[in-house]
Structure 1
Amino acid sequence: MTDTREISLTGDIDGDVTALKTRPDAIDPTIATCALLEHYGISAEVTELRGERDSNFLVHSGGIPRFVLRIANVAEQRLVAAFRAAELLHVAHAAPQLPAPRLRKTTRGADGFDLPTAAGPRHGQLVTYLPGTPMAAMPDARFQHHHLGETAARMSLALQDFEHPGAHLPLLWDIARLPQAAQFIAHTVEPEQVRLVTWAVENYLALGDALRRARRQVIHNDLNPHNIMMDAETHTVTGVIDFGDSVHSTLANDAAVACSYILDDSDDPLAPVRDFLSAYCRILPLDEAEAGMLPVLIAARHALTILITNWRATLYPDNAAYILRNQPRSVLGLRHLHAMGKHRPRDQIFAAIAGQTP
């Protein structure tokens, strides 16, 4: 087996690495409330939210959440903010029934505003708050995964004709960047993690021409249970939030990201994945090659999570618990996929898409 440390790296990810390495300076809530009043004419209270790169605030009035204010990392390129705004506006126009945040324009009609800080200007944007309970906090139920699959497919359909130059900026959280992210393997010291990550990277690289022929478009790229809001009674999706990792990439990667989070630790770990894919493919069918590579892409996402979180935890040891919160799920997912071998996951996925019971 090839040591991941020896895998050649191609492509420039320096810009996104810089953003992930740059800790956002704290924004005083008073400054956030003043910015809301100045740029949106909104008088409200704010509560700080945690974020990987940015400063985020929940905006509420009379105790009722209304908006989410995002103030970007000082290292973020302006083109990224333009892309995010254009994407939300496109989804609102192309699929108004989708429960996605709506961009709120400033009083001057702009997509956002600049906030001067000691470290440099930071760009702010305001989006509507979407109610519901995070899927991560919901009791597990099979029909949740059906609803998630349907919503994910409709989101991909809404974005299939959307283009923006900012979508092509390198993003480290893009599964396609796994070979470049392998440079962070030195920060992964647990032998089992090194072995599993190496296995996942080798399998991803072996996809070769099949991956290059696969459909590509803008994808949400982070359909994890914390970004999916649901109705606690009906278990339907009431919100898809956090478009911050959207990127132009392989279409199947979007389904792979969602599946990586719902693969569980039961006697049948792929059951939620089958439920998701049977619903997804009824709306947006994947071809045989795309479906066949899904187990490799799911493993690749898990490997990416381990590599990036271990690296960032060494940069910010005081925030390591938050950074590493999803890593146990990724290690577990790789264990299951590795133990099942090459054919079993693929056969189960083909059966789910065909509407059969494996």
Structure 2
Amino acid sequence: MPPFSKKEAEKLALEYFGIHATASPLPSYADLNFLLKTKSGKKYVLKIYKPGEEKEQLEAQNEMLLHLEKHLPQLTFPRIIKNKNGENTTLLKSKKNGQRLLRLLTWVEGRMLVNVNPHSPRLLKNLGQSIGHLCNGLRGFDHPAAHRYFEWDTAQAAWTERFFHFIKNKEKRALAEHFYGLSIKNALPKLPALRHSVLHNDANDFNVLVNADPENPAVSGIIDFGDIVHSATVNELAIAIAYAVQRKNDPLTAAAQIVAGTHEIFPLEEQELELLYHLIAARLLISLTSAAINISKNPGNEYLKVSQQPGWDLLEKWKAVPAALAHFTFRQACGFEA
């Protein structure tokens, strides 16, 4: 039984925001999300955060959204709805659920990239362009709360090794150990020399939205700003690639199409391209190790096991790609001389 029912979500929307709406639950990794629909057709997302959520982190997300609203007209993002007191974040006090923080955001229309088929070369390049626009849009943005230790920061992926024992399949564990030795130990120490900025940090195929055009689909928006962190800027691209090229027969070619799009909007640097192959692997290791830990806590959850298989399949294909070939391919995609 969730701590907040649909009726309670509707009551919160009315009490704090003056909005009469019908609520329905949305899937969420850690917090509670409800889709609110009004009789006039307006849609919102009510976000109820887990106990102990730091207000400073939510304020950082708010500031990033407000910054992008001004500096990135090419894409659509959630917009903040202030409460009756004119606040972006609401403190909710309840005898039943204790103290929690609450936010209301506009609903962003679009199809999740994971549900769009096929991923044409044109769409993959457009995804890269969108990542380039995102990197450009976040230039000059900073917030103290983004400078943090965060396990989903690709630059901090070294923590995964301590938890490889949760990967019960020997072949998969050996694959993780291979990329720890090849990519994490060798590449991550070089990251301080690269450009850094505050990142969205989670442009996966569930958070990237695509318009409804059946002939020429294009990225229309990005959602879920809960993972923002200050890190190497190229990690924004590495994360998008790590998810977008799953289920692809030729992930290197698909990755190069995304790289070409990003470079067109946000020119990539030589050393960023040199490390990109390894950063993609590092992000996959974070995702797959986190999933293995969750599976150990929920051994009967078959969905967790099945949903991670495309990531393992990609990591196996990635191993068959020499890092030097990936580097050459990415440089070629950017038009650099051989």
TM-score range, shorter chain: over 0.9
Question: Could you tell me how far 1:315 is from its partner in structure 2?
Answer: 2.2
Q: Distance in 2 between matches of 1:201 and 1:280?
A: 27
Do the aligned partners of residues 88 and 266 (structure 1) sit closer, same or farther apart at CA in structure 2, a change above 3 Å counting? closer
Q: Distance in 1 between matches of 2:285 and 2:305?
A: 13
Do the aligned partners of residues 63 and 273 (structure 1) sit closer, same or farther apart at CA in structure 2, a change above 3 Å counting? farther
Do the aligned partners of residues 262 and 289 (structure 1) sit closer, same or farther apart at CA in structure 2, a change above 3 Å counting? same
Question: Could you tell me how far 1:25 is from its partner in structure 2?
Answer: 5.2
User: Which residue does 1:153 correspond to in 2?
Assistant: 132
TM-score (norm 1): 0.87
Q: Distance in 2 between matches of 1:169 and 1:179?
A: 15
Do the aligned partners of residues 86 and 208 (structure 1) sit closer, same or farther apart at CA in structure 2, a change above 3 Å counting? closer
Q: Distance in 1 between matches of 2:150 and 2:310?
A: 22
In the TM superposition, 1:28-177 aligns within 5 A as: 28-62=5-39, 64=41, 66-117=43-94, 118-140=96-118, 141-177=120-156
User: Which residue does 2:200 correspond to in 1?
Assistant: 220
CA shift digits 1:216-239 (9 cap, x unpaired)? 111111111111111121312222
In the TM superposition, 1:1-358 aligns within 5 A as: 26-62=3-39, 64=41, 66-117=43-94, 118-140=96-118, 141-202=120-181, 203-207=183-187, 209-233=189-213, 234-317=216-299, 320-324=301-305, 326-354=307-335
Which residue identity is paired with 1:288?
E
RMSD: 2.1
Give unpaired runs (5+ residues) of structure 2. Answer: none
CA contact (8 A) 2:155 2:191 kept: no
Which residue identity is paired with 2:201?
N
Q: Distance in 1 between matches of 2:47 and 2:277?
A: 34
Do the aligned partners of residues 123 and 267 (structure 1) sit closer, same or farther apart at CA in structure 2, a change above 3 Å counting? closer
CA contact (8 A) 2:3 2:97 kept: no
Question: Could you tell me how far 1:341 is from its partner in structure 2?
Answer: 2.1
Equivalent residue of 2:187, what SS?
Answer: coil
Do the aligned partners of residues 323 and 166 (structure 1) sit closer, same or farther apart at CA in structure 2, a change above 3 Å counting? farther
Equivalent residue of 2:180, what SS?
Answer: helix
CA contact (8 A) 2:155 2:188 kept: no
CA shift digits 1:247-306 (9 cap, x unpaired)? 111111110010011224554222221111111001111111001101000011111111
Which residue identity is paired with 1:341?
P
Question: Could you tell me how far 1:137 is from its partner in structure 2?
Answer: 1.0
* Dislocated runs of 4+, deviation >3 Å: 62-65, 264-267, 320-326
Do the aligned partners of residues 72 and 100 (structure 1) sit closer, same or farther apart at CA in structure 2, a change above 3 Å counting? same
CA shift digits 1:56-88 (9 cap, x unpaired)? 011112384511111111132222111111111
Which residue identity is paired with 2:29?
E
Number of residue pairs matched? 333
Do the aligned partners of residues 284 and 325 (structure 1) sit closer, same or farther apart at CA in structure 2, a change above 3 Å counting? farther
Do the aligned partners of residues 275 and 317 (structure 1) sit closer, same or farther apart at CA in structure 2, a change above 3 Å counting? same
TM-score (norm 2): 0.92
Which residue identity is paired with 2:107?
Y
Equivalent residue of 1:68, what SS?
Answer: strand
Do the aligned partners of residues 321 and 130 (structure 1) sit closer, same or farther apart at CA in structure 2, a change above 3 Å counting? farther
Question: Could you tell me how far 1:125 is from its partner in structure 2?
Answer: 0.7
Equivalent residue of 2:206, what SS?
Answer: coil
Give unpaired runs (5+ residues) of structure 1. Answer: 1-23
Do the aligned partners of residues 355 and 287 (structure 1) sit closer, same or farther apart at CA in structure 2, a change above 3 Å counting? closer
Question: Could you tell me how far 1:209 is from its partner in structure 2?
Answer: 4.7
Which residue identity is paired with 1:353?
C
Q: Distance in 2 between matches of 1:50 and 1:342?
A: 36
Do the aligned partners of residues 311 and 214 (structure 1) sit closer, same or farther apart at CA in structure 2, a change above 3 Å counting? same
